Amino acid sequence: MHLAMMKPGQQGRIVRIGTAVGPMKRRLMDMGVLAGELVRVEKMAPLGDPMEVTIKGYNLSLRKKEAEGIEVEVAP
């Protein structure tokens, strides 16, 4: 499952950053989007773009296209 498919309130663990390459992948990694990190979806814009997530205790807004490149494992 990728991050863009998660609903507000759901939590998961980042498995890998899939489709992002080059500067985009580097930017995500600099913001703390790393494999193994817990991520929680806080809220979404009405059309699902952008979405707000919490990683490492801070909030981060991601575009839907960016979130689609992040594979997660949903936590129960």
Tens digit of each residue's pLDDT (9 = 90 or more) over 17-65: 877 667 888 888 888 899 999 999 999 998 878 999 999 999 999 998 8
Q: How far apart are CA 43 and CA 36, in angstroms?
A: 22
Band the pLDDT of 71: cuts 50, 70, 90.
Answer: very high
Please enumerate in sequence order all residues whose Cβ is within 8 A of that of 22, keeping only pairs 6 or more positions apart, or say none: none
pLDDT at 43: 95
The pTM of this model reads 0.83
